[in-house]
Amino acid sequence: MGRNLMRRRIRGIFCLEGDWEKDLTKNSSVRPVLELLSQFEPCAPHIYRGIGTREEFDYFMRKWVQKTYDEYPVLFMAFHGKSRAVYVGDRRRKSSTVTLDEIAEIIAGRCEDRIIHFGTCSTLDCDSRHIKKFIRETLSLIHI
């Protein structure tokens, strides 16, 4: 896809962010960066949601691929991660691990002309066949 075409299509960022610290009095977040980007031309408007549970993650992933949010084709996932997975909520619970396969299942075939940015440690640190499978199943572009 040509550089000018991509520039026209990328309008906004849909950000899902987990907790970075166990201590909730610490305010680590990517949100100030999003707010800064939205103040400059060409601006990058954003939708931001803090995610604390697997249910919230699934809910907002399904929201992002709805036609209503076509103006926000960039998904920025800001979570802790491990190879082929992201952590949502309390990492001590098995349900907090969401695998690439599970993410692909949630948004399967609905990400054409959308970009997924994994702002996570190690999620894409895996054999390239897993990444290619994810791209095939979601029809997305991935940014590391």
pLDDT at 4: 47
pLDDT at 90: 80
pLDDT at 41: 67
The residue ranges of the chain whose pLDDT is under 70 are: 1-10, 41, 142-144
pLDDT at 2: 44
40-47: long-range contacts at Cβ-Cβ below 8 A with a sequence spacing of 24 or more?
Answer: 42/7, 44/10, 44/11, 44/12, 44/13, 45/11, 45/12, 45/13, 45/71, 45/72, 46/12, 46/13, 46/14, 46/15, 46/72, 47/12, 47/13, 47/14, 47/15, 47/72
